[in-house]
Chains A and B, each alone.
Chain A
């Protein structure tokens, strides 16, 4: 069974930078896994941030960026703001329509 693992939590200072990662149990993540990233605050539906590794969804501030770092997908928040305090999930596409969510990272801004 394929598992996609993220850091459980991160803390970042206001104005600081944080990089969240997304690892695949079966090997390296690449652009052909079409990594995407979603933000979710408690009680709300997810919001799409990044797709196809680094493409920002409409209306997403440019302080959010996506990349591949080493063998993982990464989401970087540069200049964190208080309302970035949320859970963040990556998704990897495994082929034949099958997608897998990562375990999620809870980000605290303080």
Chain B
């Protein structure tokens, strides 16, 4: 069955960096676009970024453009989110999600990982 497992979260100071990983299993990873979505405490879901199958295409939400970078390693069945210049408002649960085969929706989700930005 499809599994997505995030790791790398934790507490980081404002201005710091963190790299999230998402390990995928149960499907042909290289066939699917992947995305990152976050949810601040008590708030709604926010799409952050996606990456195409062989990393040709990547897009970002305005809120993280220039600070976050998505990448993937198809040999390791993993997608990553490098987060730099972190701010208090980046505190959230971060989810990786598999894009559906039409790429325009999300069909499977990881369990999420908490990132806290605080001094």
Chain A interface (Cβ < 8 Å from any Cβ of B): 1, 34, 36, 38, 40, 45-48, 51-52, 57, 87, 89, 91, 93, 96-104
Total interface residues on B, CB under 8 Å, equals 28
Query: CA–CA, A34 to B33, complex, Å?
Result: 16
Once A89-B45, A99-B47 are accepted as A-B contacts, the answer to whether A34 and B110 lie under 8 Å apart by CB is no
**Closest chain B residue to A37 by CB distance?**
B105
Which residue from A36, A52, A97 sits with its C-beta under 8 Å from B59?
A: A97
**Cβ contacts under 8 Å, B97 to chain A:** 46
Compute how far the CA of A29 lies from the CA of B52 in the bound complex, rounded to whole angstroms: 25
> What chain B residues lie within 8 Å of A48 (beta carbons)?
100, 105-109
B residues whose Cβ falls under 8 Å from a Cβ of A: 33, 35, 37, 44-47, 50, 52, 57-59, 61-62, 95, 97, 100, 102-112
Residues of B within 8 A of A100 (CB): 47
Q: CB distance A101 to B107 under 8 Å?
A: no
Which chain B residues border A47 with CB–CB below 8 Å?
109
Distance between Cα atoms of A97 and B111 in the complex (Å) = 23
Q: How far is the CA of A56 from the CA of B15 in the complex (A)?
A: 42
Contacts of B110 on A, CB cut-off 8 Å?
Answer: 45
Across the interface, A40 reaches (CB within 8 A) one of B45, B47, B57, B100, namely B45
